[in-house]
Amino acid sequence: MTVIYADLVLGLNLVLDWTLLRMTAKLRGIRPTRTRVIGAALIGTLYAGVLFVPTVPFLLTLGGKVLISICMLMVAFGFHQFGYFFRNLLAFYFSAFVIAGGAIGIQYLLQDATLWAVFQHTASDVVQEKLKFGAALLMIGLCCAYGLYRLSWGQQKQQAQMNSFLVQVEIGIGGQVCSCTGLIDTGNSLKEPLSGAPVMITDVELWQGILPASWLKAVREGDVLNGLNEACSEEEKGVVDEAKLRIIPYRGVNANSQWMIGFKPDYIHITYDQSIYRITQAIIGLDSGKLSADQQFQAIVHPDMVDASLKVEGCASASSEALATKAS
């Protein structure tokens, strides 16, 4: 009689699923919260419990296994967009192939050669055919794992390159401070025509409760000029007055001239490569969409904002400066 210790099986599955998710996050350069990873690992552990109570046969099929892995990835990393999720799925299966292949390799390495010889002479033809079929599947799996490795490694390199251009941004305006993560875009050449000040583009949602609601509404609706005309006819007071408002012309993807709402901040502090840059002559532009589908950054930083001439040796915290500005 075979005895199966359910607690050991479930505990081992929890550790294995957690390891797979951490490997996936490492390959993809993602930093999920510990709670989300543990929650996803628990889903995989509950699935292992189906083996003891097979009340849902579908979960034991290939489709059921894929469905469970999709649920785990959704909980651990979210969906955001199809390309982002699909790359996570490939990295997850690559990690699974690596762990499974490593376990088989170690088992084969440590196995006594005489035992394999005895098995070869005593095994039936049917068993040997199944072993050959399994070996073929193993080779196919290794080829797939190599392909997934190349793809995942390429994605990891791209992620590492992007991470090298991520900066911490603090923007002070009207006694308020907005902090976010920015991406230095060397292809961003947008400047305000009148002053020539560089423009940093930010997600409009960052400014909820700071900028006048009419400005945010005009950005979201995409009708900048008409939206601002209606706003000017209404009495509205906010942290930022109209003297800070800027209208920035730019060319969209279709080469048509468009307008962007912007404003002049009191200051910008950028922390990049262990250095702090202070910018006072700049414009903040508002974008209606999400600059990053997975929210890795919420601002696109103009390369002129990290010029060596703007570097400071020491800088007081933005919060303290904002409070001083408000008090004055």
Q: Is residue 269 part of a domain?
A: yes
What's the confidence (pLDDT) of residue 133?
56
Do 155 and 172 belong to one domain? no
Q: What is the pTM of this model?
A: 0.57
Question: What does the alpha-carbon distance between residue 25 and residue 77 come to, in Å, rounded to a whole number?
Answer: 8
Residue 321 falls inside a structural domain = yes
Distance CA 219, CA 223 (A): 7
Alpha carbons 292 and 283: distance in angstroms, whole number: 20
- 3-class secondary-structure state, position 1: coil
In a domain, 181, yes or no: yes
Is there a single domain that holds both residue 154 and residue 195? no
Whose CA is closest to 152, among 273, 247, 28? 28
Domain containing 199: what range? 166-327
**Which residues are catalytically annotated?**
185
Domain check: are 155 and 171 in the same one?
A: no
| Residue 1 covered by a domain | no
CA distances to 71, 111, 188 from 303, in Å:
40, 59, 7
Q: For the chain, what is the domain count? A: 2
Residue 88 has pLDDT above 50, yes or no: yes
Instruction: For 288-315, give one letter per residue: b (16+ CB within 10 A) or e.
Output: beebbebebbbbbbbebbbeeebeeeeb
Q: What's the whole-number mean pLDDT along residues 108-129?
A: 57
Distances (CA, A) of 186 to 189, 222, 306: 8, 26, 11
Q: Tell me: the pLDDT tens digits for 31-54?
A: 888 899 999 989 888 887 776 666
Mean pLDDT value of segment 84-88: 83
Percentage of residues in the chain having pLDDT higher than 70: 67
